[in-house]
Amino acid sequence: MLGVLANVLTDNCSDSDLVAQCLKGDRTCFRHLYQRYQHKVRSTLYQLCGPSLLDDLTQEVFLRVWKGLPKLKHQDNFSTWLYRITWNVASDQRQAFAKQHSFDSKLKNQAEMNQVVVKNNTSDLMQLHYQDLVHRGLEQLSFEHRSVLVLHDLEDIPQKEVAQILELPAGTVKSRVFYARNAVRQFLQNEGVREL
């Protein structure tokens, strides 16, 4: 009963309150922050880096968060800061992928995609087909354009905040969103999607 009550209280806590508690060494509050944001972090990482090493990358993000909390100046901007770390981890991983991009990793990624497909075998085939198209459509974008599209269109982060996360001028974000949308739309239309 008390545990449930404590959970409800911490669920109502703002990010800055939880961060303040974390800075006092309270790991339970950090656990709540993890539970609050882990899905968004995983989702962003997945769209930016694919399925391989997803758990490791998520772990890396939250370890960097814990270590960097004392340096966080504006505790109200926790989510922006968290997305910035997520993007940094994804960016590092992209560079590592680029260095050791091999046939093996391609095979692994394909095998993991197949696993997802097999798991969802009962789903609608058209759904799977569109999911594959969206995955490929995002993959054909450059990392910079994909980052903007994922953060703004899939994670619903306003352009101003995306600019803060990526440390870019707002105008650059806007133009990248425009370019990325056009490129994905073009790709999907070429693949036969008529609804757009």
Partner 1 sequence: MNNPSSDQELVKFLKQYRPNIPESAPDLELKILATIERNEEAENKHNYRKKVGSLVSNNRSIIPCLPRWVFPPAIATTLIVFWSGYHLLVPAFQPDEGAHLEAFFVNNWEDVLHDSRGENMSELSQTDWFNFAVSDRSEPQTTN
Interface with partner 1 (CB under 8 A):
27, 30-31, 34-35, 38-39, 42-43, 46-47, 51, 54-55, 58-59, 62-63, 66-67, 112, 116, 120, 127, 130-135, 137, 149, 153-154, 178, 181-182, 184-185, 188, 193, 195-196
The distance of closest approach from Cβ of residue 78 to partner 1 in the complex, given in angstroms and rounded to an integer, is 17
% helix, strand, coil for the chain, step of 5: 80, 0, 20
Kindly provide the residue ranges of all beta strands, DSSP E only, lying in 11-125, ordered along the sequence.
none
The distance of closest approach from Cβ of residue 191 to partner 1 in the complex, given in angstroms and rounded to an integer, is 12
The distance of closest approach from Cβ of residue 73 to partner 1 in the complex, given in angstroms and rounded to an integer, is 22
Residue number with CB closer to partner 1 (76 or 175): 175
Residue number with CB closer to partner 1 (31 or 101): 31
The distance of closest approach from Cβ of residue 46 to partner 1 in the complex, given in angstroms and rounded to an integer, is 5
The distance of closest approach from Cβ of residue 45 to partner 1 in the complex, given in angstroms and rounded to an integer, is 9
Burial of 133 (0-12, 13-18, 19+ CB in 10 A): middle
3-state secondary structure of 85: helix
Which 8-state DSSP code applies to residue 70? Answer: G
Residue number with CB closer to partner 1 (167 or 196): 196
Residue number with CB closer to partner 1 (76 or 117): 117
Residue number with CB closer to partner 1 (31 or 76): 31
Asked whether the CA dihedral 178, 180, 181, 186 is positive or negative, the reply is positive
Cα 28 to the center of its chain, rounded Å: 24
Which 8-state DSSP code applies to residue 73? Answer: S
Rg (CA), the chain: 19
